[in-house]
Each structure stands twice: as C-alpha cells, then as structure tokens.
Amino acid sequence: MSFDPNTFHLISRNSLTEFKELPSDLPFPQHSNNSVDHPFQQAREYKRALNAAKLDRLFSKPFIKALEGNPDGVTCLSRAGAEISYIVSGGYDGEVRVWNVGVNNCIYKMQAHDTIVTGVVVTSTRQSEQLIITSSSDSTAKIWPLSVATEISGSPAQVTRPLMTYNNQIPLQCVDYRRYSDSFCTGGNEGVDLWEFERDQPTQHFNITEGALKCKFSPTETNIIGITNVNRSIGFVDIRMSTPVTFNYSERRNNDLSWNPQKPYFFSTCSDDFNAYTYDMRYMKTPYRIHSGHVGPVLTIDYAPSGIEFCTGSYDKTVKIFDPERVIEKQCYYGERMQKVYNVCYSADAHYIFSASDDGNIRVWKAKANESTKLLGRDEVRAINYREALVKKYENLSEINKIIQRKKLPKENVVLRKSYLSSLDSKARGHYNKKIKTYEGIDEVNKENKMKKLKLDINSQFISDQVKQKMNEKNEEISAFQLVRKKLRAQEEKAKKKELDSRKK
C-alpha cells in the first residue's frame, strides 16, 4: 500500500521552536493571530492609548537648565556644526561666548564688536578647523577660531584678535555661511553682499530696496539665498546670477527665515502678524500652510535637522513647536522669568532646543516634552514606541484629542488670546455684514449670479461658533431663496408655453 499524504496526517514539530535546549530555559511563547481568540482588542487598545496620553501629559517637563552669565540680553545663537554639546551666542554688549552645554560652562568669550551682535554662524567645512563668523551693527564682520575652545577650569579663556575683519559701509543685520565652501553672505540696508574668506571686499552685491532683514543659504541648493526684506517681501538670490530672482509681498514684515533641510523647495518664515508661514518656493502666490498660536510678533524660527518640525520664538515670551503640515502648535514652552525670545536653535541631534531671551539667559529645552534624558533599555524603548503608536492611532477620538490639545499657557497669553480672537470675530462679522448688504442691495435680475460669488466662507478657524451659526442660517435662507426662484421661473416658463400653444391654435 502506497503512502497518500491526503489520507495520512502526521504530527510534525520543529525542534528549534518547540523544544527547550536546556531545562532552565524559559518556555516558548505561544501567540495566536486569530481575532476570535482576542475579544475586545479594540477596547483594550483604546484604554491603553488613553492612559498613554495621560502619562505623556503627566511627565511633560521640558525645561532642563539655563546657561547664565551674560551681562546683557542675548540676540543670536548658532550650533557649532557637528559638535552636539557646543553652542555660540552673541549679545547686546558685543560679546560672543562659546558654551559647553554638557557641563553648563562658558568655555571662552571674546569682545567681538563695539555694538550689538546681529548674527553669528559656525562654519561646517570639510577641514578639521571650524570658524565663527560674526556680524554687527558697527558695519563689520569678523572671523574667529573655534578650535581654541579647550576646557579650562575657572574663568573662561579670552580671545582678543580675530583672524579676519571685513569692513562695510552700512550696518549689518545678518550673516550666513555657504555650506562646504569658503564664502559667506551678509545683509544690510543696501542689500546682500557675498564675501570670500581671503578677500576683504565683497565679490558680489545684490541691490535690494529698503534693505534685508535676514539672509540664509539653502542647506541643499547652496547657490540660493532666501531673503526677508524690510518692505514686507520675500526674495531669492541665485549667486550664479547678478540680480535677485523673485520677490513675493506679504501683509506684514517677515522677521526671520529657515529652510527645511530635508525638503529643498520648502521654507518657513515668521511674521509680525503673530503667524508663521510655510512656503513652497515653486508656488509663491499663496503659503503652503499658515501656523497660528502666538499672541505677539514672531521674531525667530529654526528647523530641526530632521526636518519634521520647527520651533518659533515670539514677543509674547513663549517658544512653540510646530509640525510643518499642521496649523496649531504641538508644544508651548515658557518660563516664569523668561522675557522676549530673540532667537531659537535646535541641537545637532534634534533632541534639544536652545532659546535666547532678553533677560540674558540661554535656556535648554527638550524637543519632546515627555522624553527621558537617561539611557533606556531595549524593553523601555519598545514600550515607549508602542504607546506612541497607540496614541497616534486614536488621536482623533474626543477624550484623547482633548488631552493632546490641552496646553498650559501663561495667564497673560490667555487674556491676549481671547482679545485677539474677539477682534478676529468682529472682523469676520463686519465682512459678513458687508456681504449681506451687497446681497440685499443688488438688482433682482442679477441676484442668482451674485449669490454664487457671495457665498459665505464659514470654515475659518478663528470665527466663533455663534457667528458660524448665524452664517449657516443666512446661507440656508439664500439657498431657500434660490429654490423658490427656480420654481417661480419654471412656472413662468410653463405659462408662456401655454400662451404660445393657445395662440397657435
């Protein structure tokens, strides 16, 4: 009799997965992927997601420490290239300091300028030696060595002489370095200048009306400079050309600009109208996304090296973190004694945020408010990733969304936010009343065509629910009027047809 596999069913077991190699080994876990064996799985996941959201809010303690010692307010910050624990700061008194954040110590300082330091940047050359480039309102730009930053106990080391000094005829507002090259750019009231390290005169000059506020090289397309101007415009300069490429005007002045390091065409600006804007440089007519939440002019902006988020600092004494794809902020950081935030900067590993404020302190924050600063084991990392995935899966449900969206804000900002929203409501009501008046005053013959153009927009996030309800009621009246008008026209056409038929007979 031959063997038939369809008739005889043999028991086969894999020795690697079924049997223990040693008697002391743990038993192999048995898991079934069948949903019948796991009832109420969704309910359990929802409960875990709710608990994870509560724990995230409970352990949100973003402030780490403050770097003290500046005699005056800090105006500019820069991370020291690939050095994660080093940052460079400049202040109102013309002093530039290099800090070691890990040991909370100023390594060395230098009296770089006689007046306010308007910009500081660290070169990222392929060579071992890194340089610090500073600009000031005393019409000079200077280059300083960074390699002398050695750990010295006690008082910080003093650096007295710069490696190179570049004199300009106008006060400088900003400075930025072209990646992996020996050139940098400065901006002032007469335009943007391009400099070489070996030359004491600018190699190129781009004339801009009313001057430049900020100029920054694109980290990927290193030939392009993004510029925010005093005349409320945003422009681009290609250093391979002799004139600026394009200019786009906005309603308010843009104070700062930052390029997305992972998406070459995208950049974000911060404006005096309390908002930040993300643009696609290929379509500059309208912003790609408008980010709201501040109640004061936004003074500074910086992208994380990962490109998945950016942070802003404002006149309202807060630091906010935004997702480039979303309107509302993810996190809001503030301190009891923190004043106006003039500059913000991410660390090179995107785990920390540095903020420079008017009170003379540099504060260190976590990029993720609930992130642990200690070394985590494999099981801890796995559990954290699981909780984050659950929260992301159920974030649109009401209870979890309420916990995620709830943010603790200063009392002053809450009051200012209410007054700001009420002013936006009054503007929306005025716009609404204007549309209604124009609708009621037009000729009856053109009513239907006009109503299509005067359809009320009630999707604005700043309009209150009461105003939206009134707009909805008015839109319903308009739609009802349109239906009645169509019925009357149909009846008139039928009557005309009957008259014509009767005349023919």
Domains of the chain: residue spans and CATH:
63-400 (2.130.10.10), 411-504 (no CATH)
pLDDT of residue 165: 92
pLDDT of residue 310: 95
Closest CA to 98 of 117, 113, 77: 77
Those residues whose C-beta lies under 8 Å from the C-beta of residue 258, and which sit 6 or more positions away, are 216, 267, 268, 269, 301, 302, 303, 310
138 and 90 Cβ atoms separated by less than 8 Å: no
**DSSP per residue, 133-179:** EEEETTSEEEEEESTT----SSSPEE----SEEEE-SS-EEEEEE-T
328 and 320 Cβ atoms separated by less than 8 Å: no
Strand arrangement of the beta sheet that strand 183-188 belongs to: 172-177, 183-188, 191-196, 204-207
Closest CA to 318 of 297, 346, 303, 290: 297
b/e code 39-72 from CB counts within 10 Å (16+ = b): eeeeeeebeebbebbeebeeeeebeeebbeebee
Biggest CA-to-CA distance, the chain: 115
Both tokens of 395, joined, read 């974030």
Ranges of residues in the chain whose predicted pLDDT is under 50:
148-149, 152-153, 442, 444-445, 452-463
Contacts of 482-486 with CB under 8 Å at 24 or more apart are 482/448, 482/451, 485/447, 485/448
Q: How far apart are CA 208 and CA 215, in angstroms?
A: 12
Task: Tell me if residue 8 falls in helix, strand or coil.
Answer: coil
237 and 192 Cβ atoms separated by less than 8 Å: yes
Q: How far apart are CA 119 and CA 88, in angstroms?
A: 11
User: Which residue is listed with tokens 């995230």?
Assistant: 56
Pairing mode of beta strands 86-91, 95-100? antiparallel
Q: How far apart are CA 484 and CA 471, in angstroms?
A: 20
**Ramachandran assignment for 134, one of left (phi > 0), alpha (psi -120 to 50 degrees), beta (any other):** beta
Both tokens of 177, joined, read 């370095």
Pairing mode of beta strands 276-280, 289-291? antiparallel
pLDDT of residue 408: 84
**DSSP per residue, 407-466:** ----HHHHHHHHHHHHHHHHHHHHHHHHHHHHHHHS-STTHHHHHHHT------TTS-HH
Counts of helices then strands in the chain (DSSP H, E)? 7, 29
Question: 230 burial class (0-12, 13-18, 19+ CB within 10 angstroms)?
Answer: middle
Q: What are residue 166's phi and psi, to 5 degrees?
A: -120, 120
pLDDT, tens digit, 9 for 90 and up, residues 213-236: 999 999 998 999 999 988 888 989
Strand arrangement of the beta sheet that strand 246-249 belongs to: 212-217, 224-229, 233-238, 246-249
pLDDT of residue 505: 60
pLDDT of residue 232: 87
Number of Cα atoms under 13 Å in the Cβ half of residue 245: 16
Strand segments (E) across 189-309: 191-196, 204-207, 212-217, 224-229, 233-238, 246-249, 254-259, 266-271, 276-280, 289-291, 298-303
pLDDT of residue 7: 66
Task: Tell me if residue 16 falls in helix, strand or coil.
Answer: helix
Amino acid at 456: L
pLDDT of residue 431: 77
Task: Tell me if residue 249 falls in helix, strand or coil.
Answer: strand
pLDDT of residue 45: 93
Instruction: Compute CA distances 275 → 56, 153, 263, 430, whole Å.
Output: 27, 44, 21, 22
Both tokens of 76, joined, read 């500019």
pLDDT of residue 84: 83
Enclosing H/E stretch for 119: strand 117-122
What is the length of the chain? 505
Whole-structure pTM value: 0.78
